[in-house]
Amino acid sequence: MGLGEQARAVVRSLSGGTRRKVELVRALLHEPRVLLMDEATVGLDPASRQQLLDTVRTLCRARGMGVLWATHLIEEVHGADRLMLLHQGTVRFEGSIPAFMAQAQGADFQAEVLRQLGPP
């Protein structure tokens, strides 16, 4: 994760993005079968965000690890096996990404997707 230079730093002295990386490394130390990621890329610059996404996807393939990824960024779900869209605590969609994209074709993701998916 590119943290070698900060190996001896006190974590609370690190930037928010670097702390996110440390959190991921700590979560992976015991080689979990399932990883829970809640808004894991918040505070990361684009390069660090992509590095985190690539690292997690590589680990999933190499270790057979599953990830439950909670995010507001639709581009982070690329390559996911399943997608669940929640709105105000209600499941609005559950299925494959291609099925979601077909249902939301041409939609503005801010509001139109929810309209196309119908009332809760």
Answer with the residue of higher pLDDT: 113 or 29: 29
Answer with the residue of higher pLDDT: 82 or 120: 82
Number of residues assigned to the chain: 120
Note the pLDDT of residue 23.
Answer: 84
Residue 13 tokens, joined: 């002295």
Give the CATH number, domain containing residue 40. Answer: 3.40.50.300
Strands 83-87 and 66-70 come out as unpaired
Number of Cβ within a 10 Å radius of residue 4: 6
Confidence class for position 100, pLDDT limits 50, 70, 90: confident
Report the predicted TM-score, pTM, of the whole model to 2 decimal places: 0.68
Could you give the number of structural domains in the chain? 1
pLDDT beyond 70 at 84 = yes
Note the pLDDT of residue 116.
Answer: 58
Structural Rg of the chain based on CA atoms: 17
pLDDT in tens, 27-68: 888 889 998 888 888 878 888 888 888 888 888 889 888 888
pLDDT beyond 60 at 110 = no
Torsion sign across C-alpha atoms 115, 100, 51, 68: positive
- Domain residue limits at 31: 4-117
Note the pLDDT of residue 108.
Answer: 65
Q: Find out whether 51 and 2 touch, Cβ atoms under 8 Å.
A: yes
pLDDT in tens, 1-21: 777 777 778 888 887 778 888
